[in-house]
Structure 1
Amino acid sequence: MKWLFQRHEDIVVAQQEEAPVGEQADERAEAPTKLGVVVRAASQVGHRTGNQDRYLVGGSVVAVADGVGGSVRGDAAAQVALGRIGIDSALIGDHVPPVTAVRALTASAHEQALHAATVFNAVETSSTLSMVHVSRPRRSDYREEDTPRAGRESEPATTEESTPVLADTPADVDVPDDGVEKLTLTFAWVGDSPIYLVVDGQVEQISRPHTTAPSGHAGGGYALQRAIGGIDATPDVVQRTVTAGARVLLASDGVLDIPADEVEAALLDPDYGPSDCVEVLLEFAQEYGVRDNTTVAVIDVVDTSQFVGLSQLV
């Protein structure tokens, strides 16, 4: 596991699930997947005097946190929140369902930010959070009618009343094996740090910002409705299953001041790898005079067999 704070680095992560012990071992044991993710992340200050954004790239988790302006030491809230997530994500076993995992990680980050407020003798020390947990789908032979059908509108699945899973696929269900390798992406967010998913040439904003601001991010008299370390830190959770070629963008709200068509063009450009995409987005932030800190993390789902000379994936 590596923490990455305000610096560039490429990481390739292979998602391999250990065969479970006990009665289910024969049912679920499989050959290691060839799918993995390539991650690139970076941050810039913009026109601020300091950077309150932080980002984390771990073994199965990528996250961005943005310290809330107006709270005491929002930068510290972002850093301790991601530090807690980094530690806890390394300790959570593969047997823990991803939705359960991201909720637990969010809760521990919130507790850490609350503790930071007591250290600073502050009413609130808070940050936003956007996160994706990468895992292998669970496979089974359950009936076809149990599978969500394309084009069918379904009710949001809920496993805990306080935290609905806003997903097209029910929470932590087994995914039928159709012969195509997949990864499960479990997204969670608190606040207004956006999450985008690119699949089959379509860009979708996964996150629904926790603010009433028309722009989608707090400021100008609009406050956050939820924050890590704030009064309400309940995450929204969305789960999607994807194949090679999918792309994810996690960002701080500085990205929302870049024209949406520019962001979409960068995400869709077939000549851009994660590194190119990150660099272009940060160049846009400078070009359009974004005043706020801007942090971006781009995650590409790839067939790792195409990486020539890469002897081991970590």
Structure 2
Amino acid sequence: MTLSLDYATLSDVGRVRRNNEDSAYAGPHLLLLADGMGGAAAGEVASAAAVQVIRRLDTADIGGEDMIEALAGAVHRANERLSELVEEDPEREGMGSTVTALMFDGKQLGLAHLGDSRAYRMRDGQLFQLSHDHTFVQSLVDEGRISQEEAFSHPHRNLILRVLDGRPDSDPDLEMLDVQAGDRLMLCSDGLPDYVSNDVIAASMASGTPDSVVVELITHALEAGSNDNVTCVVADVVETEPASGIAPQLVGAAAELAQGSTGRGEPTAAVRAGGPDGSGGGGHGTSVDPEELRYAPRPPKRFPWLRRITVLVVVLALLGGGAWFGYSWTQKQYYVGTDGDYVAIYKGVDAEIPGISLSSVYERQQLLVDKLPTYSRQQVEGDIQAESLAGARSIVAQLQQTAAECAKLKPTPKPSAKPTAKATTPAVTTPPVSKPPVSTSPPTTASSTPTGPSVNPEDCDGVR
């Protein structure tokens, strides 16, 4: 026969606190508990919102490994709902809630957990904790720095590290668990295990019905001096069909807010076991509420618009400072280029930004670009980068020397040379013996002309 759940849930505001920030739900296919905290008295809003979203899984026809995906999706939707609530009322920023849920398909359990509420299973008389606390103290235990016994009395045992708070990094632990007839399951807020030892919890869960067990566990917590809300969900895994007429149970802040907003109550086994009515959800007294310090690394931000403006100003300042630094750097650079027909030294970089000039003529030289050989002219027209102003002037000096040397090597025929040549052509009567000395004289004169060590005649190709 298919397994089923026989369940009961109960929530108590406690003997110190004036409002209940716990919410819980128990149904045929879902056990769920959320412990709200932080924000301007909005812990109850956070836990109620989380439960109202996730509880819809109880009516979903989902089983097997698909339960893990369904739980993850429901927790993320609850997280988005908290984000929406903060957007609607910025005073709620800083609120959050734990989430511990067990989804049941008749054969297996799917666990989703975030925070320090707990899930237990009693099997064959042995109590086993199914969830893993996301607390500072538990991290010390995991690292071997303190023992589990020391964690029970540690002064910072309530400092929580992960919580459902509307931020994008609120991912729960997810796990598939086996289940069998005779198992007893229990979910509870930290108001129970922070004051009641595992041995006492195990003794209470060893016998009785789910209804009697939730009452006994909460009584133990109150007698131990718990100053927090205390909520428990207990379910037995049985081989019989659920009793006829059994209905889902909603308790704590979720039940109170549902009654106040809709005017109709939700099916519930008990709204609270003792304690004053906390439906007013008022203040926390004159002293600091410990619940508002449970995740102190994330304090409430009461002026989100101011924070956004500050961030914008800082970003603009960084961008403006970077732009100014970049422009200042460009104005310390030099290169050699052309300014019309002349060689010039430029200050800046040869780049274009709409509306901004990054370079200007620093010194215009008297050197014509056409007086340079082809290779040097192409270099200048493509810009020659220099390490400094002195480097740019050195480049210009080299170009001027090259132009001067090429000017010396370039032949400059005289207009009278052609008539002289034509006049000597008819003089065929000149003795041929005198021509050899005359013909060898010009090469000797050309070879004696200084050409410079770095410029060859062929290098001056293209000089105009």
Provide TM-score, normalisation by structure 1. Answer: 0.67
- 1:258 matches 2:196: yes
Q: Is the 8 A contact 1:186 1:240 kept in 2?
A: yes
Task: Label 1:76 to 1:201 Cα distance change in 2 as closer, same or farther (>3 A).
Answer: same
- 1:126 matches 2:62: no
In the TM superposition, 1:80-95 aligns within 5 A as 80-91=49-60, 93-94=62-63
Deviation >4 Å, runs of 4+: 91-96, 216-219, 310-314
In the TM superposition, 1:105-144 aligns within 5 A as 105-121=74-90, 122-136=92-106
Code of the residue aligned with 1:109 in structure 2: it is A
Provide the C-alpha distance between the structure 2 equivalents of 1:108 and 1:208, rounded to a whole number of angstroms: 22
SS state of the match for residue 124, structure 1?
Answer: coil
Identity %: 28
Provide the C-alpha distance between the structure 1 equivalents of 2:9 and 2:157, rounded to a whole number of angstroms: 30
Aligned to 1:98: 67
Provide the C-alpha distance between the structure 1 equivalents of 2:246 and 2:214, rounded to a whole number of angstroms: 22
Which protein has greater RCO, CA pairs closer than 8 Å, 6+ apart?
A: 1
In the TM superposition, 1:46-61 aligns within 5 A as 46=14, 47-61=16-30
Higher helix share: 2
- Give the aligned CA root-mean-square deviation in angstroms: 2.5
- Stretches of structure 1 lacking an aligned partner (at least 5 in a row): 1-32, 137-182
Task: Label 1:311 to 1:48 Cα distance change in 2 as closer, same or farther (>3 A).
Answer: closer
Code of the residue aligned with 1:35 in structure 2: it is L
Which of 206, 213, 220 is matched with 2:130 structurally?
206
Which of 178, 182, 192 is matched with 1:245 structurally?
182
SS state of the match for residue 41, structure 1?
Answer: strand
* 1:99-142 CA-partner distances (Å, limit 9, x unpaired): 11111111111111111112221333210011100013xxxxxx
Q: Is the 8 A contact 1:217 1:253 kept in 2?
A: no
Q: Is the 8 A contact 2:101 2:113 kept in 1?
A: yes
Higher strand share: 1
Task: Label 1:124 to 1:311 Cα distance change in 2 as closer, same or farther (>3 A).
Answer: closer
Task: Label 1:64 to 1:311 Cα distance change in 2 as closer, same or farther (>3 A).
Answer: closer
Which of 219, 227, 240 is matched with 1:283 structurally?
219
Task: Label 1:91 to 1:192 Cα distance change in 2 as closer, same or farther (>3 A).
Answer: same
Code of the residue aligned with 2:115 in structure 1: it is G
Q: Is the 8 A contact 2:136 2:157 kept in 1?
A: no
Provide the C-alpha distance between the structure 1 equivalents of 2:135 and 2:113, rounded to a whole number of angstroms: 12
Q: Is the 8 A contact 1:92 1:101 kept in 2?
A: no
Task: Label 1:235 to 1:78 Cα distance change in 2 as closer, same or farther (>3 A).
Answer: same
Task: Label 1:200 to 1:105 Cα distance change in 2 as closer, same or farther (>3 A).
Answer: same
In the TM superposition, 1:147-296 aligns within 5 A as 183-213=107-137, 215=151, 220=156, 223-231=159-167, 232-256=169-193, 257-269=195-207, 272-296=208-232
Provide TM-score, normalisation by structure 2. Answer: 0.46
Q: Is the 8 A contact 1:55 1:65 kept in 2?
A: yes
Structure with the greater alpha carbon radius of gyration: 2
Provide the C-alpha distance between the structure 1 equivalents of 2:182 and 2:41, rounded to a whole number of angstroms: 41
